Amino acid sequence: MENWKRAVIAGSIGTSAILFVKGKGAAGVLAAGVGLAVLASEYPEKFEELREDLPYYVERGSRFLEMISRAGNRLAAIGESRGRELWDEITS
């Protein structure tokens, strides 16, 4: 990889991180996109593989988030019932 491409990629990653920290999400995504575009131009076959595997990753991520959501709902229900029990104990 040529040095100028490395500089563009590193600069865009750094710029995007700074923009995200400052709360400018849209500009951060744009800066990260520039770096990804340069990286994709250097390794098109790897990005093609990633694009083909993307539905699998999305499906796995969705299942993971669903599992976390169910666990959170269970914990909330447990906390709510224990909170009621504690309140009933205090007020009686």
Q: Where are the domains of the chain?
A: 1-42, 44-92
- Whether residue 19 is predicted with pLDDT greater than 90 in this model: the reply is yes
- Whether residue 81 is predicted with pLDDT greater than 90 in this model: the reply is no
pLDDT at 60: 94
pTM over 0.85: no
Given its phi and psi angles, is residue 78 left (phi above 0), alpha (psi -120 to 50 degrees) or beta?
A: alpha
Which of 38-43's residues contact partners 24+ apart within 8 Å by CB, and which partners?
38/5, 38/8, 38/9, 38/12, 39/9, 41/5, 42/1, 42/5
How far apart are alpha carbons 37 and 59 in whole angstroms?
A: 25
- Whether residue 92 is predicted with pLDDT greater than 80 in this model: the reply is no
Q: Decide if 15 contacts 31 (C-beta within 8 A).
A: yes
